Structure 1
Amino acid sequence: MGCKNKEVSNSEVIQLEDKREIFVDHYLIDKLENASIQLHHPNDEGIVMYFDKPWEGVFCTYSTVINDNGLYRAYYRGGLSVDNEPYSNEEFTCYAESKDGIHWYKPDLGLYEINGTLENNVVLANEAPVHHNFSPFLDENPNALPDQKFKALGGTIREKIGLIPYTSPDGIHWKKLTDGGVIKEGAFDSQNVSFWSESEQCYVCYFRTFSNGYRTVSRATSTDFINWSEPVEMTYGDTPPEHLYTQQTSPYFRAPHIYVAIGGRFMPGRQVLTKEQAEELNVNPGYFKDCSDAFFMTSRGGNEYDRTFMEAFIRPGIGLDNWVSRSNYPALNVVQTGPEEMSIYVNQDYAQPTAHLRRYSMRLDGFTSVSAPYSGGEMITKPFSFTGNQLEINYSTSAAGEIRVEIQDEKGVPLSGYTLEDSQEIIGNEISRIVHWNHTKDLTELRGKTVRLRISMKDADLYSIRFKN
């Protein structure tokens, strides 16, 4: 409803403007010679939070992590239920905070009496089944009302309740925006995520559906968070169907026109543990006959996901506790946790007394890269125009490697002064490096013109580019 059309034909000149491009797909790439797009895997940084409060329990999941201007907020499902019943008021939405995204604490909020005490970290209770999959976001809509700085959706398909909208001025105190569900056509039996899209200029919701026996994703849009378009099923290109239990689609904070989806891939009936092993780990008897891992896909709007990579983004760890049903589900959102680092959080040890949230780290923009071996390779881009006056790259090379950049016209003819021979030899490992040609970096004369890049690489990775001012 009212969203900008983001579709770009391959025959059109891409308008890069000053946006950062990460190489998660072939959107900008015309040719690769002895080079390829590589998926990188996050570093395991260990447990950051145990779900060990009496009102949290072994079924804590569907986590969301929000970087609110340096205050990190985590939301997740807790509950007293021993059988994971999603339609009772024995489930709650719990909350934790951090000043760095690494060290977390659970404040005593005093909002709801749970298990005989107000000293708990529950931000939503007594509104079943909303807290089964309550999924909040920080509203980046410049026209959002101050008392609606945070928004959320939660709900299920039972009795056609659908997804109910909530708002909050502070991320702690929540109230319904409407009494009934605003999106009703879906299965909703997992985390259903929404956000304000800067590039599409509307609210977008990605939610659980079923198609041909598989857990799939559909999408709807809205300009006011109340009235939503008819759901449209997402497509995945020419890839085999899989159970996408969660999809966790969100704008990448350094390139918000690109949505990254780091979700949980469910493998029903793919059993690793024996009954005896499950009993030894004290796994809930209903949750050890399947396994899961984390996948990576992207979207640039519309109803298309790009699944360039079918391999796992995060494999289950060593130990049988990592191979139970519905474990290894990533939290919603990737957040920056250092000058050169971003973090992803994953729910692990599901349905076990050791259930926890784990942190994984990556370099900024480091989901993927264009990579070339020692023998050398190159990438040529599609025709594009830009509005900045400097080319910034995020890259790494070996001590023996290098990167050189050539700017060509739209037909592939090198531009005088910007050839490979004019380009500096770039060696190193930096998040931000400005490219020079014969000691000049100023690209003002090329702004608005249609150009291509030819990037020559040897034992190197290129994570992102941006024409910045």
Structure 2
Amino acid sequence: MLYDQDEGLFRLWYLSFGSYPGLGEFGEPTYYCYATSSDGLHWERPHLGMFDYEGSTDNNIISSDRNSAPGFNGSILDCKEMAGLEPPERRYKTAGWLGRDDAGRGIHGVSFSHDGLRWQRYEGNPVIGGHGRGDALTGAKLREPAFPEHLPGLPTAKYALFPKVHPQLGRFRRRSFAMCTSEDDLGGNPFTQWTEPQLVLAPDLRDDEMTEERLAAAKSILLYDNPGDHRCEFYGVVVFRSGDIFLGLLWIYDAAFEFSRIGTRNQYALVDIQLVSSRDLIHWERLGNRQPVIARGGPGSFDSHMIFFHSFPVTVGDEWWVYYVGHNEGHAAQAGYDEAMRREFQAEARTGRRHFPAIGLAKVRREGYVSRDAGAEGGTLTTRLLQPGGPRLEVNAAVPEGGALTVEVQDEHGRALPGFGAADCTPVTGDSLRHQIRWGERRGDNSWRERPVRLRFQLHPSAGRTALYGFRFSADGA
């Protein structure tokens, strides 16, 4: 999912099965399809005239997995801001699983497009390979003209990929994620030369404990279960930059049953989404006490068992819109179906009692996945040393009636800068993504660009809940 500001269009790329497993013949093609919307809610399937399906090209199919498909099992990057810096035929980028080489090692390749519809696989594929590589990876933009480049600690590369890997962790080989980065090749071509992937995201003992808790709570909907198979894995991750940090939406895979117990492969599992963050793409923090940022729906809903997430959040007004895929059966559930279960599935699907995977929409406050909150007792928050990117401060916060928020700007020793102490700050109230912070008649100081500073936020006591979501320095003159 991408939003094209020039066209005023939401653009959606999605996969469609020739027939859903359990309803038709196995091995039918997977189709890569395209849809558009002016409001993000009501969708049209344009007639592209690109792919012959049952004797007609009057459809919205771009390609299929049997016809040199680009491999959309990861995110699509629209790099229009790189116009003039990169070849126009490489504006759109994606990466995908290409299968295994002759030695049985997983390999991945990249594809490019000038319009997002007509794709060409890179002639130098594969670009990543090796033992233990999984079937999924996603891409991320690390820097572009809109981002400041002087921030310390950020990667200097232009792009990153996050390939799935399977390290041995405890008794199991577990889905985890590595990271590799890319600069242009010697010919100035982007997205083709990659560093060796290094492991950056893997489940730990606390994840296993929480998997046990979640599976116990979901026991009534589990089709298969064996406590000896329980563990946490990471099934996917989508990473994007927000200011001077990177946020990631991490797919949490709660494995409940090994199908090897009944003579087949894979695991039965539930999946939901948690939030992670990093400043360098190597060291990651788990946010929100590892609680789902997108939770599964209730029993019988289309997203009761699994939530898959492939797209970057889309900014719509004061919200981030998050499109995801919901499933109302567990991972690989049909690997354990006998003939009676298959017939039951077919009957329920045809009568509407069983949902197929479908696309859902979750909405969240813009840049508001998490917050630091204070109530009746108030509270303070002091940042690490920051290098301001501008002389004005804007704060994303919801301050209830009767409450107030003030900000003190400090030097590296924790002393208030003259004229920018807490007592100098004009208290702000109300709910805004962009509270303009003032100290008397002043909005800030240009000298902030030349020195590191700390911010000390004071959330004053109130009867309600004060929520501090974030802040940013703007480049407007002081």
Q: TM-score scaled to structure 1, two decimals? A: 0.75
What is the CA–CA distance in structure 2 between the aligned matches of 1:141 and 1:378, rounded to whole Å?
40
What is the CA–CA distance in structure 2 between the aligned matches of 1:366 and 1:420, rounded to whole Å?
25
What is the CA–CA distance in structure 2 between the aligned matches of 1:131 and 1:122, rounded to whole Å?
14
* Alpha carbons 2:77, 2:94 under 8 Å: kept: yes
1:122 aligns with 2:61: yes
* Alpha carbons 1:406, 1:414 under 8 Å: kept: yes
> Structure 2 matches for 1:81-160, cutoff 5 A?
81-83=19-21, 90-125=29-64, 126-127=66-67, 131=71, 133=73, 135-139=75-79, 140-141=81-82, 143-159=85-101, 160=105
Q: Which residue of 1 aligns with 2:165?
A: 209
Amino acid at match of 1:92: Y
Partner of 2:116, secondary structure, is coil
Deviations, residues 37-59 of structure 1 (Å, cap 9, x unaligned)? xxxxxxxxxxxxxxxxxxxxxxx
> Structure 2 matches for 1:42-441, cutoff 5 A?
65-69=1-5, 70-83=8-21, 90-125=29-64, 126-127=66-67, 131=71, 133=73, 135-139=75-79, 140-141=81-82, 143-159=85-101, 160=105, 162-178=107-123, 180-185=125-130, 189-198=134-143, 200-212=156-168, 213-223=173-183, 224-235=190-201, 240-241=206-207, 242-252=232-242, 255=243, 257-269=244-256, 289-309=268-288, 310-322=290-302, 327-338=306-317, 340-349=318-327, 353-441=355-443
* Alpha carbons 2:246, 2:279 under 8 Å: kept: yes
1:174–1:288 CA distance, 2 compared to 1 (3 A): same
* Alpha carbons 1:91, 1:128 under 8 Å: kept: no
Amino acid at match of 1:205: L
What is the CA–CA distance in structure 2 between the aligned matches of 1:134 and 1:452, rounded to whole Å?
38
Worse-superposed segment, 138-147 or 214-223 = 138-147
Amino acid at match of 2:29: E
Name the larger-Rg structure. Answer: 2
Residue correspondences, number: 386
Which runs of 5 or more structure 1 residues have no equivalent in the other structure?
A: 1-64, 272-284
Structure with the bigger percentage of strand: 1
Worse-superposed segment, 231-240 or 142-151 = 231-240
Relative contact order (alpha carbons < 8 A, sep ≥ 6): 1 or 2 greater?
1
Deviations, residues 69-125 of structure 1 (Å, cap 9, x unaligned)? 24221112222154499x967012121112232332221212111244322222122
What is the CA–CA distance in structure 1 between the aligned matches of 2:266 and 2:196, rounded to whole Å?
35
Partner of 2:89, secondary structure, is helix
Amino acid at match of 2:3: N
Which runs of 5 or more structure 2 residues have no equivalent in the other structure?
A: 144-153, 184-189, 208-231, 259-263, 330-353
Q: Which residue of 1 aligns with 2:459?
A: 457
**How far off its partner does 1:190 sit?**
4.7
**How far off its partner does 1:363 sit?**
1.4
* Alpha carbons 1:217, 1:233 under 8 Å: kept: yes
Percent of aligned positions with the same letter in both sequences?
A: 22
Amino acid at match of 1:430: S
Partner of 2:206, secondary structure, is coil
1:355–1:79 CA distance, 2 compared to 1 (3 A): same
Q: Which residue of 2 aligns with 1:9?
A: none
Partner of 1:379, secondary structure, is strand
* Alpha carbons 1:408, 1:452 under 8 Å: kept: yes
Structure with the bigger percentage of helix: 2
